[in-house]
Structure 1
Amino acid sequence: MKTLFILNDPPYGRERCYNALRLAHALLKKDPQTMVSVFLMADAVIAAKAAQKTPDGYYNVERMLKRVLVGKGQVLLCGTCMDARGLAEAELMAGARRSTMDELAAATAEADKVLVF
């Protein structure tokens, strides 16, 4: 099964990214054959910024995205949203990559399920 997660909210301050990634991990744990794609849009693109440092005991979205990548998933970022926030490709965590609306459209058409957070 192919599941596409589209995240829009900032990685911290609200918990939508956190909860979406918790669900992505649960799906990968339940069925390792599941293909998970995470598309970050709007303020969610900051979730893929490398070298995030959060207080002890607080969740870290970068680490959560790494778990998606380890599970053979992909992490894609809206290029226009990156540009609007001044986020350069060199600032991204390893494995995450700049993408386009055309690629999001293709991933949406291919997915069995699309979840928007």
Structure 2
Amino acid sequence: MNTLFILNDPPYGSERSYNALRLARALAKKEGQTVRVFLMGDAVACARAGQKVPAGYYNAGDMVRMAGGEVGLCGTCMDARGLRDDEVVEGARRGTLQQLADWTAQADKVLVF
């Protein structure tokens, strides 16, 4: 089963991206599951490296690294927010709308957060 998660919300201030990343990670641990995550809009900030959060609070960058599958970031959204390729966590890569279209066509399920 191939599942695509599309995230739109920022990493903090809402728990939508946090919950999506938690679910992606849990699903990726299941046998026979392939997970892909695509970050759009303010969600691209989830993949920013070097995030400093209060003790006991989740780190969205760490969660992206542990999502369990391929992670793409909307390049246009990155540019609009001044996020450079060298500022994202390991395993996350600049993507395109065409990549998202391909991933969507290949997915058995698409979950949008």
Interval containing the TM-score (normalised by the shorter chain): over 0.9
The structural deviation recorded for 1:26 is 1.8
Which residue identity does 1:63 align to in structure 2? D
- Deviation per CA, 1:7-65: give whole Å up to 9, x if none: 00000000100010111122123x14311111000000011011111111111111111
**Aligned residue runs from structure 1 range 49-60, under 5 A:** 49-60=48-59
TM-score, structure 2 as length reference: 0.96
**What residue ranges of structure 2 are gaps of 5+ in the alignment?**
none
Which residue identity does 1:38 align to in structure 2? V
1:53 alignment partner, SS class: coil
Structure 1 Cα separation of the partners of residues 39 and 32 of structure 2: 22
Query: Which of 68, 71, 76 lines up with 1:75 in the alignment?
Result: 71
2:28 alignment partner, SS class: helix
Matched with 1:109 is 105
Structure 1 Cα separation of the partners of residues 56 and 17 of structure 2: 17
**What residue ranges of structure 1 are gaps of 5+ in the alignment?**
none
Matched with 1:85 is 81
Matched with 2:23 is 23
Structure 2 Cα separation of the partners of residues 81 and 74 of structure 1: 18
Matched with 1:61 is 60
Number of paired residues?
Answer: 113
Structure 2 Cα separation of the partners of residues 23 and 109 of structure 1: 21
Matched with 1:100 is 96
Q: For the aligned residues, what is the CA RMSD?
A: 0.9
